[in-house]
Amino acid sequence: MSITHVILTGGVGSRLWPLSRKSQPKQYLEIFENKSLFEMTVERNNHLADKVMVVGNVDNHHLSGKVMDKTKTSYLNIVEATPRNTAAAIAFAAFASNPDDILIITPSDHIIDKMDDYNNAIQEAVLKAKEGYIVTFGIIPTKPETGYGYIESKGDKVISFREKPNETTAKEFIARGNFLWNSGMFCFKAGVLLEELKQFQPDVYEKSKEVWEASKEGFLDLDLSMQIPSISIDYAVMERSKKIKVVPASFSWSDLGSFESVYEYLVSKGHPIDKNGNMVIGSGKHTTFLGLKNTIFVYTDTANLILQKENSQDVKDIYSELERINSDLLN
């Protein structure tokens, strides 16, 4: 039995456009003390696992390869031909493992602090995984956040999974005191996860198995991949299995899924803001904000974005509109 760190790195970070592009998704942007979120993910977990797997896609696997070379990390590379959501991505990692191997699944675009708390949470999850449970990590919330899903829990038991709430519901969750942020991190034995996937979502199981068995040096076939239903692991397994446990974790966590969370992180690291809370990202040029508060100016060579911090979640609508007209500004 070995412990494998599986890094999921397929997302495009649409809520961080124009910084995040298809050619350079947010997990590869070196704007976090000259490191990328992907590199920080590799380093954070290298002492916790015996092996590393990277599940990426055909558009960005060369970017993860550069980071793995830079950090001198040997790894198994799984390259998806097309995005099929997290159920398939995690199934590929499980098929590539021995049934008793314990997999620690982490996204590649999260910021995590308080490393002692993080390490303790991982160790607790590994112990539960050895007992045959599928473990999810629930973050003890610090505010009523509308950008995250929630886990309703009692101790280590999961009562329910909840979608991203509106402001009123988020406040209600916090007031009730037994709701955790859903971190998108998991820990389990490969064989246990596959058994549950086969039971609850046999179509994803069978098609993913077919794709994995036809893979060539970790590269997956496009035509076969297109037949896999695009379903999240939460929907496919987590919300249906009786083997789920949650580790309520107190490490500091953010998925940096919006400019508001990037803003808060950069402020905590000493990035300059003016007296009205305005910030420039991506440019060293002198910029003056007049009559504006909590405004973020995002500069890139080909596109700029000026937004109120509170409107950060709406950036994905701009991304969707540019996608609709097939704009080069996404590349």
Query: Domain spanning 3-254: which CATH class is it, in words?
Result: alpha beta
Specify whether the CB–CB gap between 147 and 313 falls below 8 A. yes
Strand 304-308 vs strand 295-299: parallel, antiparallel, or unpaired?
antiparallel
Least confident of 128-132, 144-148, 278-282: 144-148
d(Cα 233, Cα 226) in Å, to the nearest integer?
A: 17
Confidence of residue 89 (pLDDT cuts 50, 70, 90): very high
**Where are the chain's structural domains?**
3-254, 259-312
Q: How far is CA 291 from CA 190, 267, 273, 276, 277, in A?
A: 56, 21, 15, 9, 12
Task: Indicate if the pLDDT at residue 11 is higher than 90.
Answer: no
Confidence of residue 197 (pLDDT cuts 50, 70, 90): very high
- CB atoms inside a 10 Å sphere around CB 121: 25
Task: Indicate if the pLDDT at residue 192 is higher than 90.
Answer: yes
Residue pLDDT, tens place only, 106-123: 999 888 988 899 999 999
Task: Indicate if the pLDDT at residue 249 is higher than 80.
Answer: yes
Task: Indicate if the pLDDT at residue 6 is higher than 90.
Answer: yes
**Residues above pLDDT 90, as percent of the chain:** 78
- Looking at residue 153, its pLDDT comes to 94
Residue pLDDT, tens place only, 27-77: 998 877 778 999 999 999 999 999 999 999 888 889 999 999 999 999 999
Phi-psi region of 277 (alpha: psi -120 to 50; beta: other; left: phi over 0): left
d(Cα 95, Cα 97) in Å, to the nearest integer?
A: 5
Residue pLDDT, tens place only, 255-307: 888 899 899 889 988 899 999 999 999 888 999 999 999 999 999 999 999 99
Task: Indicate if the pLDDT at residue 182 is higher than 80.
Answer: yes
Strand 295-299 vs strand 279-281: parallel, antiparallel, or unpaired?
parallel
d(Cα 61, Cα 71) in Å, to the nearest integer?
A: 15
- CB atoms inside a 10 Å sphere around CB 47: 7
**Residues above pLDDT 70, as percent of the chain:** 100
Confidence of residue 188 (pLDDT cuts 50, 70, 90): very high
- Looking at residue 291, its pLDDT comes to 96
